[in-house]
Structure formats: C-alpha cells, structure tokens
C-alpha cells in the first residue's frame, strides 16, 4: 500500500467519523424534539401512544356530523 492509498483510507475514515457524528447529533436533536412533542400531547390530555386511534375517532365523528348536516339541509334551496 502506497502513501496515496493510505491517505485516501485515512480520509475515508475521517469522513465516516464526521458522518457518524452528524448522524448522532441529529438523532439527539430528534429525540429531544420527540420528548417535547410527547409532553405537549400529554398536556393536551391525550396519550401519545393512542394518537392514531384518537385521530380515526375524530375523523369518523367529523364525517358523521357532515352527514347529519347534509340530512338536515333541504335538497332544493330556492333562489331569491
């Protein structure tokens, strides 16, 4: 192995270390953000683990209300 190849390997190792460091830093940031968001959800009175269920329930309730409104409205509204 010559000096050029050795230097290329060192450069690749250094680049890999920097990439790993950046990824770890980003992961830490995302974990902190996740913690803050979970705390906000809890403060709103919801269980973060059940958000999908809650969203589905609210979507269903919304659709039910839309259907009820449509049923209450007359089919033909006269123009004045």
Q: C-alpha angle 69/61/76, rounded to 5°?
A: 15
CA distance 38 to 46: 9
How does the average pLDDT of the chain come out, rounded?
Answer: 93
pLDDT for 78 beyond 90: no
Q: Average pLDDT of 15-35?
A: 98
Q: Average pLDDT of 34-58?
A: 95
Residue 48: per-residue pLDDT: 94
CA distance 78 to 2: 90
Q: Are 35 and 27 in contact (CB under 8 A)?
A: no
pLDDT in tens, 56-65: 999 999 999 9
Burial class (CB within 10 angstroms; exposed 0-12, middle 13-18, buried 19+) of 38: middle
pLDDT for 20 beyond 80: yes
CA distance 35 to 24: 17
């Amino acid at each position: 192995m010559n000096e050029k190849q050795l230097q290329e390997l060192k450069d690749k190792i250094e680049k890999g270390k920097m990439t790993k460091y950046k990824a770890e830093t980003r992961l830490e940031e995302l974990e902190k953000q996740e913690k803050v968001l979970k705390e906000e959800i809890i403060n709103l009175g919801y269980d973060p683990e059940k958000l999908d269920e809650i969203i589905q329930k609210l979507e269903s309730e919304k659709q039910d209300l839309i259907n009820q409104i449509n049923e209450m409205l007359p089919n033909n509204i006269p123009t004045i």
